[in-house]
Amino acid sequence: MPVSDKTVSIITPAYNAARFVADAIKSVRRQTHERWEMLVVDDCSRDATRDIVRALSREDSRVKLIEQAANGGPARARQAGLDAATGRYIAFLDSDDLWLPQKLERQLEFMDEREAAISFTEFRRISVDGRDVGKLIRIPERLDYHQLLRNTAIATSTVIVDRRRTGPFSMTVTYYDDFVLWLSILRRGFTAHGLQEDLMRYRVASGSWSRNKLRSALWVWRTYQQIEKLSVPYSAWCFAGYVWNAVSKYRSF
């Protein structure tokens, strides 16, 4: 499929997301950068997710619904979005998160200035109802492969990847498919550049897998061992850094 030089393809996996997906889509429609397509990949939801996305796609043709034939989890849903994407730039927005209006414009300017292949931004957490807004989550100016192994700084809904610079990439079907993707890109020698501006809202949803820190930590370790094939001593060193950064990041709302 031909890739548009100016278009950002936004990939949003959605499963039983009826409560929040409209807000996510509206935050994209408020972007000051208008060259985008939003690929909402419904993973066989049992609620009204598809109906909500269809209705909003009739209002704005840039919003596109992709329906999975079988429930396959976030990685397969993101891959379906990647397969359909026409933009040079790939952005990720989870169905319960939100962007601030200048997110795309500022981040694309930042990437152009630094000739960056991948970038991420600062953000704040919000409560389920969106009323409570947390502290600013600060990020480093840059992360290479080895630094990312020890860090939790890259939030999925802040990331943009320039496919012209990285070349093709794909998702790995695993619990931490997003973390594994960032590692796979940085392993090629690229650096992730951090835009130190607050441009995303991460919703802390009750019961979310990402809130189960013990399970998350276990899967980080498995990523080191099973996917990255790191030695046990190096894995332990990276894991210590991961835990330290995670505790620092989440010790207060």
Q: What is the mean pLDDT of residues 236-253?
A: 89
* Confidence at residue 215, expressed as pLDDT on a 0 to 100 scale: 83
* Confidence at residue 210, expressed as pLDDT on a 0 to 100 scale: 47
Please check whether residue 30 is in contact with residue 2, taking contact to mean a CB–CB distance below 8 angstroms: no
| 103: amino acid identity, one letter | K
Predicted TM-score of the model (pTM): 0.94
Cβ neighbours, 10 Å, residue 86: 12
* Confidence at residue 246, expressed as pLDDT on a 0 to 100 scale: 87
Task: Give me the half-sphere count of Cα atoms (radius 13 Å) on the Cβ side of residue 150.
Answer: 12
* Confidence at residue 3, expressed as pLDDT on a 0 to 100 scale: 59
| Domain encompassing residue 95 | 4-205
Residue 10 lies inside a defined structural domain of this protein: yes
CATH number of the domain within which 49 lies = 3.90.550.10
Determine what percent of the chain is predicted with pLDDT higher than 90.
89
Secondary structure (DSSP) of 152-186: ----GGG-EEEHHHH-------STTHHHHHHHHHH
Of 47, 81, 88, nearest in space to 65 by CA: 81
* Confidence at residue 6, expressed as pLDDT on a 0 to 100 scale: 85
Strands 160-162 and 87-92: antiparallel
* Confidence at residue 2, expressed as pLDDT on a 0 to 100 scale: 53
Please check whether residue 42 is in contact with residue 68, taking contact to mean a CB–CB distance below 8 angstroms: yes
* Confidence at residue 252, expressed as pLDDT on a 0 to 100 scale: 76
Give 141-175 pLDDT, tens digit per residue.
999 999 999 999 999 999 999 999 999 999 999 99
The helix (H) or strand (E) run that includes residue 220 is helix 213-222
Look at 251 and 194; give whichever has higher pLDDT: 194
Residue 225 has pLDDT above 90, yes or no: yes
Residue 214 lies inside a defined structural domain of this protein: no
The helix (H) or strand (E) run that includes residue 203 is strand 192-203
Domain total of the chain: 1
Q: Is 138 helix (H, G, I), strand (E, B) or coil?
A: coil
Task: Give me the half-sphere count of Cα atoms (radius 13 Å) on the Cβ side of residue 7.
Answer: 14
Of 9, 11, 10, 23, nearest in space to 205 by CA: 23
Q: What angle do CA 75, 80, 85 make, to 5 degrees?
A: 120
Cβ neighbours, 10 Å, residue 135: 11
Residue 250 has pLDDT above 80, yes or no: no
Residue 239 lies inside a defined structural domain of this protein: no
Residue 230 lies inside a defined structural domain of this protein: no
Determine what percent of the chain is predicted with pLDDT higher than 70.
96
How far apart (Å, rounded) are the C-alpha atoms in residues 62 and 34?
10
Give 88-111 pLDDT, tens digit per residue.
999 999 999 999 999 999 999 999
Alpha-carbon separation of residue 208 from 33, 71, 85, 203, 217 (angstroms): 30, 18, 27, 10, 15
Residue 216 lies inside a defined structural domain of this protein: no
Average pLDDT, the chain: 94
* Confidence at residue 4, expressed as pLDDT on a 0 to 100 scale: 60
Of 166, 216, 214, nearest in space to 190 by CA: 166
Residue 31 lies inside a defined structural domain of this protein: yes
Give 119-141 pLDDT, tens digit per residue.
999 999 999 999 999 999 999 99
Residue 237 lies inside a defined structural domain of this protein: no
Residue 111 lies inside a defined structural domain of this protein: yes
